[in-house]
Amino acid sequence: MNALTQRRFLKMNGLGNAITVLDLRGTKLRVSEEDARAIAAQPLAAFDQLMVLHDPRTPGTDAFIRIYNSDGSEAGACGNGTRCVAWAMMADPQMGDAALSELALETRAGLLEARRDGDWLFTVDMGAPRLGWEEIPLAEPFHDTARFELQIGPIDDPILHTPCAVNMGNPHAVFFVDDPYRFNLQQIGPLLENHPVFPDRANIELAAVTAPDHIVLRVWERGAGITQACGSGACAALVAAVRRELSARKATVSLPGGDLVIEWRERDGHVLMTGPVALEWEGLIEPAWFETAA
């Protein structure tokens, strides 16, 4: 029997971004890629990202979070998922501590700080963006990652071209367009995610800046596909828009699932993301899930 059987999980969402939270603190248990895919295949626990809580690794932090995409691959950061974890650790009756109003959470990509702003509203400090070609990473040197050479479609009439590259814990490529909804993201998303210029694959954003303080965004997430919202993608879009001198340093980013407020703070270069979360239900992991996967 799989050791995860009968472990409690929370099915949540951040603006429709499907998040499952699994608390493994106090144990030595780990989730494998196969485990993550088996859990994702179940309607009751299906996720875009699985947020797995482990005991802290670094003094002064509250937990170490492993993040899995629905294909079983690991992600370095997930803004919507981090807000869900913050709710779970502060407000869930079985998992949380109502006395907490702030958290320091460690991920593979670094430290994330979360703050509770309301019953279901949270702000996450996503840290400073990484902008160098080798930090994103890209497969070859590009002096200016705000505009780097990449296009899809005919050379003389490309469908998309010249994105901005940003790493917000995960690699992102942001294409600025007039209308993100006129593109077949289901078709072009996987082509761009797996383009050779991205050695670690990439999240793909289609962004339209409609006002200095407003961005309309659609996202193809690496390892998950089209999602209703992507917190790190919204952060990447705001950073990219500022780098292109298209927007202010604080803007509302509208995704299919709703709005996030993103600020690229000037004093320390950190990106702050504010948005809601929702709890859908809780359940227990069943042994049959892994038998079916096997």
Per-residue pLDDT tens listing for the chain (294 residues): 899 999 999 999 999 999 999 999 999 999 999 999 999 999 999 999 999 999 999 999 999 999 999 999 999 999 999 999 999 999 999 999 989 999 999 999 899 999 999 999 999 999 999 999 999 999 999 999 999 999 998 888 899 999 999 999 999 999 999 999 999 999 999 999 999 999 999 999 999 999 999 999 999 999 999 999 999 999 999 999 999 999 999 999 999 999 999 999 999 999 999 999 999 999 999 999 998 655
Angle at CA of residue 10, ends 39 and 13, nearest 5°? 90
Q: Tokens standing for 4? A: 């995860």
pLDDT recorded at residue 292:
66
Pairing of strands 121-125, 271-276: antiparallel
Q: Superfamily assignment of 151-269 in CATH?
A: Diaminopimelate Epimerase; Chain A, domain 1 (3.10.310.10)
> Which of the following is catalytic: 78, 84, 164, 235?
78
CA geometry: angle 15, 33, 170, nearest 5 deg: 50
**CATH 3.10.310.10 location in the chain:** 8-127+277-293, 151-269
How confident is the model at residue 294, as a pLDDT? Answer: 52
What pLDDT does residue 30 have? 96
* Whether residue 78 lies in the annotated active site: yes
Answer yes or no: 230 catalytic: yes
Q: What is the pLDDT of residue 112?
A: 94
Candidates 84, 164, 230, 235; catalytic one: 230
Tokens of 92: 């869930």
Distances (CA, A) of 117 to 81, 83, 87, 122, 284: 16, 11, 11, 5, 29
Q: What does CATH list as the number for 8-127+277-293? A: 3.10.310.10
- Residue 164 and residue 166: Cα distance in Å, rounded? 7
State the Rg of the chain over Cα. 19
Signed CA dihedral, 217, 218, 220, 224: sign only: positive
The reply to whether omega before 56 is within 30° of 0 (cis) is: no
